[in-house]
Structure 1
Amino acid sequence: MNSSQPAFSSWLNAPAHQQWLAAEGLRLLAFAKASKLPEGFGNLDEKGRLPSDAQAQTMNTARMTHSFAMAHIQGLPGFAELVDHGIRALRGPLRDAVHGGWFAVAEHRDGNTGKNAYLHAFVALAASSAVVAQRPDAQALLDDAIDIIDSCFWSEEEGAMRESFSRDWSSEEAYRGANSNMHATEAFLALADVSDDKRWLCRAQRIVERVIHGHAAANGFLVIEHFDRDWQPLREYNRDNPADGFRPYGTTPGHGFEWARLLLHLEAARVRAGMLTPGWLLTDAQKLFEQNCVHGWEIDGAPGMVYTLDWDNKAVVRHRLHWTHCEASAAASALLKRTGDEQYERWYRLFWEFCECHFIDRECGSWHHELDPLNRPSGDIWAGKPDLYHAWQAVLIPRLPLAPSMASALAALSQSVSM
Structure 2
Amino acid sequence: MRAWMLQKLLPFWADVGVDRRHGGFVERLTLDRRPAPDDYKRVRVQARQIYVFSHAHLLGAPSWAMQTARHGADFLFRHCWDDEAGGWLHLVAPDGTPLDRRRDTYDQAFVLHALAWLYRATGDLDVLAGIDRSVAFLDAQLADPAGGGFWEEMTPEGATDRLPRRQNPHMHLLEAFLALHQATDDRAWLDRAGNIVRLFHDRLFDAATGSLGEFFARDWRPAAGTEGRIREPGHHFEWVWLLLHYRRLTGDGTVLAPANALYGFAREKGLIEHGGNPPRAVDSVSDDGAVLAGSARLWPQTEAVKAALAREELLGEVAARLDADRFLTTVFEYLQGEDKVVWQDQIARDGTAMAEYIPASTLYHLFLCLSEYLRVRG
Do residues 40 (structure 1) and 24 (structure 2) align?
A: yes
Query: Which moved further from structure 2: 212-221 or 44-53?
Result: 212-221
Query: Residue 179 of structure 1: CA displacement?
Result: 0.5
Cα deviations by residue, 1:368-407 (Å, 9 ceiling, x for unpaired)? 2111112232217xx3232210000000112336xxxxxx
Do residues 230 (structure 1) and 219 (structure 2) align?
A: yes
The amino acid of 2:230's aligned partner reads: G
Secondary structure (helix, strand or coil) at the match of 1:92 reads helix
Contact 1:43-1:60 within 8 A present in 2 as well? yes
Cα 1:24/1:377, change in 2 over 3 Å: farther
Query: Residue 210 of structure 1: CA displacement?
Result: 2.5
Distance 1:214 1:280 in 2: 15
- 2:210 match: 221
Distance 1:394 1:200 in 2: 23
- 2:11 match: 30
Query: Residue 226 of structure 1: CA displacement?
Result: 0.6
The amino acid of 2:17's aligned partner reads: S
Query: Residue 325 of structure 1: CA displacement?
Result: 0.3
Do residues 118 (structure 1) and 106 (structure 2) align?
A: yes
Distance 1:254 1:267 in 2: 20
Matches within 5 A, 1:205-284: 205-212=194-201, 214-236=203-225, 250-271=230-251, 277=252, 279-284=253-258
Query: Residue 300 of structure 1: CA displacement?
Result: 7.4
Do residues 80 (structure 1) and 66 (structure 2) align?
A: yes
Cα 1:362/1:84, change in 2 over 3 Å: same
The amino acid of 2:347's aligned partner reads: L
Contact 1:71-1:79 within 8 A present in 2 as well? yes
The amino acid of 1:343's aligned partner reads: A
Distance 1:165 1:198 in 2: 28
Matches within 5 A, 1:319-338: 319-338=295-314
Query: Which moved further from structure 2: 81-90 or 317-326?
Result: 81-90
Cα 1:373/1:185, change in 2 over 3 Å: same
Secondary structure (helix, strand or coil) at the match of 1:304 reads strand
The amino acid of 2:57's aligned partner reads: H
The alignment's C-alpha RMSD in Å is 2.6
Which of residues 41, 44, 50 is equivalent to 1:59? 44
Matches within 5 A, 1:103-252: 103-106=89-92, 111-134=99-122, 136=124, 137-212=126-201, 214-236=203-225, 250-252=230-232
The amino acid of 1:285's aligned partner reads: A
Cα deviations by residue, 1:63-119 (Å, 9 ceiling, x for unpaired)? 000111011122212112211122112211112111111112226868532111000
Matches within 5 A, 1:283-294: 283-294=257-268
Distance 2:187 2:133 in 1: 19
Secondary structure (helix, strand or coil) at the match of 2:212 reads coil
Query: Residue 209 of structure 1: CA displacement?
Result: 2.8
Which of residues 333, 337, 346 is equivalent to 1:362? 337
Distance 1:397 1:159 in 2: 31
**% identical equivalent positions:** 25
Contact 2:87-2:134 within 8 A present in 1 as well? yes
Cα deviations by residue, 1:216-259 (Å, 9 ceiling, x for unpaired)? 242422210011221011143659xxxxxxxxx71100000000
Distance 1:331 1:146 in 2: 28
Distance 2:6 2:241 in 1: 20
Distance 2:210 2:101 in 1: 35
The amino acid of 2:71's aligned partner reads: H
Cα 1:220/1:27, change in 2 over 3 Å: farther
Do residues 295 (structure 1) and 269 (structure 2) align?
A: yes
Query: Residue 126 of structure 1: CA displacement?
Result: 0.7
Which of residues 378, 392, 398 is equivalent to 2:354? 378
| Normalised TM-score (structure 2) | 0.88
Secondary structure (helix, strand or coil) at the match of 1:312 reads coil
- 1:392 match: 367
Distance 1:170 1:217 in 2: 29
Contact 2:311-2:320 within 8 A present in 1 as well? yes
Secondary structure (helix, strand or coil) at the match of 1:48 reads coil
The amino acid of 1:133's aligned partner reads: A
The amino acid of 1:222's aligned partner reads: S
Secondary structure (helix, strand or coil) at the match of 1:384 reads strand
The amino acid of 2:18's aligned partner reads: K
Which of residues 86, 91, 100 is equivalent to 2:86? 100
Structure 1 gaps, min length 5: 1-19, 240-248, 272-276, 402-412, 414-419
Distance 1:225 1:26 in 2: 38
Distance 1:284 1:147 in 2: 31
Contact 1:212-1:221 within 8 A present in 2 as well? no
Query: Residue 366 of structure 1: CA displacement?
Result: 2.4
Contact 1:22-1:395 within 8 A present in 2 as well? no
Cα 1:218/1:148, change in 2 over 3 Å: same
Query: Residue 135 of structure 1: CA displacement?
Result: 6.4
Cα deviations by residue, 1:166-215 (Å, 9 ceiling, x for unpaired)? 12534532442110100011001112233433232222223223325654
- 2:34 match: 49
The amino acid of 1:29's aligned partner reads: L
| Normalised TM-score (structure 1) | 0.80
Contact 2:274-2:348 within 8 A present in 1 as well? no
